[in-house]
Amino acid sequence: MKTVCCSILGFGAIGQGVAEVLLKKKEYLENIGLEVKVVAVVDSKGATINPEGVDLANCLARKRTDGTVALENLSGVEVIQSVAHDLVIETTPTNIRTGGAGLQNMFAAFQTGKDVITSNKGPLTLKYRELMEAAKVAGSHFRFEATVGGSMPIINLSNEVLAGNKVKSVKGILNGTCNYILTRMLEERASYNDILAESMQLGIAETDPTYDVEGIDTACKLVILANAIFGLDATYSDVEVTGITKVTPEALEMAYERGHVIKLIGEVSRERIHVAPRLVPINHPLAVGGTLNVASVETELAGEITVTGKGAGPIETASAILSDLIAIYGN
């Protein structure tokens, strides 16, 4: 049995989803020869640490009742530097201005020779090259399937499953919250503000939901795809960005009467990176609803390959983190 000691940094919707999935998959992981021992959980108020393994069920319960897991006044970086472990699971909020705590956590993880799996888009949008270089110098694994499309495989699909197949473009819906809002505004005539509030409760919206509705989150994901799949050195300023805040119920209904839905479509190629609301024919493969994401990958040898899946949500996103973990430590 191989033991993987890890920390979970950020214990909101996704961090808690990771804890739940690790509890649910304990037996499966043991059957494939992996014991995953969480030695630290950190939120914005502090940390719970136990080198023998923290009690995840207890952490989840305390987070629900007390609003925090903090028992010790330690930050993510302090935990990385002082607690022995192999892997940092980084799920703090996305911040594309400074990179937030996530950027510091990732650099500290690589400086101490740890592997990183993340759902946090900020550091990868701001400092992709530097992070890849730091991981390479440290000899660390760095995987981030959860950052784009949540559970929907897109980065590992393009780079691993489709290896050798040059990808020409990726086009689709990469934000579950916007898709949820647009779908329910059309189908139930629900109010924009009510659905946005519900999205926050469901744990699908960003910590700052303007990132979702203004197209910023989709733009970040396109930057990550541009760098990870196309090998570009793109940052946020390379993206043309329009969100969904000006899409009215009347526009959605008028489009529908003419056989179309309005979707927030992101598209990335070597030539252009852009996101904006666009008309999509009702029966088109990109016309998926609810929190679904969808991506059409235009490839050199295999033509178009389209994938769809839940683009947001705690358990769904944690499933991508679990697959990255198994990709690193499984046989």
Ligand X SMILES: NC(=O)C1=CN([C@@H]2O[C@H](COP(=O)(O)OP(=O)(O)OC[C@H]3O[C@@H](n4cnc5c(N)ncnc54)[C@H](O)[C@@H]3O)[C@@H](O)[C@H]2O)C=CC1
Ligand Y SMILES: N[C@@H](CC=O)C(=O)O
Active site residues: 221
Whole-number minimum distance, CB 187 to ligand X, in Å? 21
Q: What angle do CA 264, 238, 225 make, to 5 degrees?
A: 65
Between CA 295 and CA 309 the distance in angstroms is 9
Binding residues for ligand X, total number by CB under 6 A: 28
Please state at what angle helix 56-66 crosses helix 13-24, rounded to 10 degrees.
150
Question: Interaction with ligand X in 90-129: which residues (CB under 6 A)?
Answer: 91-94, 101, 119-121
Name beta bridge partners: 276: 265
Tokens of residue 55, six digits: 């009690």
Residue 175 as a binder of ligand Y (CB under 6 A): the answer is yes
Listing DSSP states for 32-88 in one string gives TTEEEEEEEEEETTEEEE-TT---HHHHHHHHHHHS---SB---HHHHHHHS--SEE
Residue 13 as a binder of ligand X (CB under 6 A): the answer is yes
Select from 42, 77, 204, 225 the one that contacts ligand Y (CB under 6 A).
Answer: 204
State the binding partner of 177 from ligand Y, Na ion, ligand X, none, CB within 5 to 8 A by kind.
ligand Y
Between CA 223 and CA 134 the distance in angstroms is 19
Interface segment toward ligand X; rule CB under 6 A; list 224-232, 258-266, 301-309, 310-318: 310-318
Residue 44 as a binder of ligand X (CB under 6 A): the answer is yes
Select from 123, 149, 266, 277 the one that contacts Na ion (CB under 5 A).
Answer: 149
Question: Is residue 326 within 8 Å of 25, Cβ to Cβ?
Answer: no
State the binding partner of 42 from ligand Y, ligand X, Na ion, none, CB within 5 to 8 A by kind.
ligand X
Binding site for Na ion (CB under 5 A): 145, 149, 152, 320
Give the footprint of ligand X on this chain (CB under 6 A). Answer: 9-15, 42-44, 76, 91-94, 101, 119-121, 146, 150, 203-204, 206-207, 312-313, 317
